[in-house]
Structure 1
Amino acid sequence: MRRALCHSAYAVSVAILLTLAVSGCNREKIVVYRVPKDDWPVAHAQNNHSTNAPLTSTAKAAPANPSWTVPAGWVELPPTQLALARFVVSEPVGQAQITVTVLPGNAGGLLANVNRWRAQMYLGPITEADLERTVGKIKTQIGTASLVDLTGSLPETGRQVRLLGVVLEQSDSTWFFKMIGQADVVARQKDAFLQFVQTTRLNPQ
């Protein structure tokens, strides 16, 4: 009698395991996406000190219908709640990411946003008196903009990262164009980035 019970219990256990195995086969495969090792400096620098977002309220500007010429090799990414447009450019050695953001008002002011970008590059803050020698100028089809060029090193590896930022102030909004990535990739893409900024137009709605 005991042996019969044992056989019955064994049979039930096998049936349960077979049922689970069959049902498991019918489930969708779980796909794990891994970020390439070369992409890490971009994400790491962007997330440094939670300084990726411009210093302003959460209110978004209502920009005019913009248009621009996208450089060859840039791949468009979906926009986010903050970024009006995003692109990525990939090279064998790594990547650089480009974002366009439009915010109402002065978005915290030029100094605050320059220091936010400096923090992303692991650089110390500057004062108002330092702005003139730190920030350049660039002419665009929208108006004259401020140009920031920063290079820093990741503390864990010493790997160099670079950020190019353009701040274009309008009467009721501020436009931010930013490219961030491995220093050598950004260096090769600098001219393309500046041309991208200079081709930007604000078209009437």
Structure 2
Amino acid sequence: MPNPPTPLHRPCLTHPTSAAIMGAGLLLLGFGCSSDRVSHYRVPKESATPQAPIPAMPPKPMGERTGEPSDVPPPPKPKGSLKWSLPKGWSELPGGGMRFATFKTPYAGKLEATVVVLPGPAGGELANVNRWRGQIALPALDEAGLAKSRSTLKSKVGAVNVYDFTSEGQAKSRMVAGYVATPDGNTWFLKLTGDADPVAKAKPDFMTILGSLHLD
């Protein structure tokens, strides 16, 4: 009589060794999944790179020109610079920037008297006169108009070219300017500007200043 068939061997899932192996696999799988989740959601913040401290600005050297009126020293005194005599009641104030000097007048109203010195021809007489005319809204001149508007005053430094312009309209501005080139190659501009009436009162004194010009 034939033997009955041997049943297939099925490993028992509750065997301690099998359970341990499967538990370890599941645990590793869980670590892998957990690791994926951590790497996806918990991105470590990059540590901020420390920045080098900004160095403190060094103090400005004395006499540095910053463009502020109180911090701009007067220009250096040119060799053999121009000199003048002031009428009674006038006084001289230090200049600044391009301005060599400022005159304080005894007359009330809008009025200013200044001295500017520039090296060389400073662009030429015609260009400077037209720039002055533009400041009081007057049209430019040509060479013929320049010669016609020029008067000459003698001084110890030589001939001083004088110009006198008054603006148009009701509120009139006036400008009286002296233009002189000195032997050292510099060009000097002495200007009296302001409202027409105060300039008219101060002009005789200003002409006296132009006539007193001499070299240092």
Superposition TM-score, scaled by structure 1 size: 0.63
1:165 alignment counterpart: 177
How far, CA to CA, are the matches of 2:192 and 2:211 in structure 1? 14
**Which of 60, 73, 90 is 1:74 aligned to?**
90
- What is the match of residue 148 of structure 2? 133
Aligned residue in 1 for 2:124: 109
- Which of the pair has the greater relative contact order for Cα pairs under 8 Å at 6+ separation? 1
The 3-state SS of whatever aligns with 2:140 is coil
Q: Counterpart of 2:161? A: 146
Matching residue's letter, 1:131: L
Identity of aligned residues (%): 35
Structure 2 residues without counterparts, runs of 5 or longer:
1-74
Alpha-carbon separation, structure 1, partners of 2:137 and 2:90: 27
Structure 1: gaps spanning 5 or more residues: 1-58
Q: Which residue of 2 aligns with 1:180?
A: 193
Q: Secondary structure at the match of 2:189?
A: strand
Q: Work out whether residues 84 and 214 of structure 2, in 8 Å CA contact, stay in contact via their aligned partners in 1.
A: yes
| Structure 2 counterparts to residues 91-102 of structure 1, below 5 A | 91-92=107-108, 94-102=109-117
CA contact (8 A) 2:160 2:210 kept: no
Change (3 A) 1:118 1:202: same
How far 1:75 sits from its partner (Å)?
Answer: 3.5
Alpha carbon RMSD of aligned pairs, Å?
A: 2.1
The number of residues matched between the two structures is 141
Q: CA deviation at 1:180?
A: 0.5
- Structure having the higher Rg: 2
User: Structure 1 169/65 Cα, relative in aligned 2: closer, same or farther at 3 Å?
Assistant: closer
DSSP 3-state at the match of 2:115: strand
Q: Is the 2:173–2:196 contact (alpha carbons within 8 Å) kept by the matching residues of 1?
A: yes
- Residues 61 and 103, structure 1, Cα contact 8 Å, conserved in 2: no
Once superposed, which parts of structure 1, at least 4 consecutive aligned residues long, lie more than 4 Å away?
none
Give yes or no for the alignment of 1:62 onto 2:74: no
| TM-score with structure 2 setting the length | 0.60
Structure (1/2) with the larger helix percentage? 1
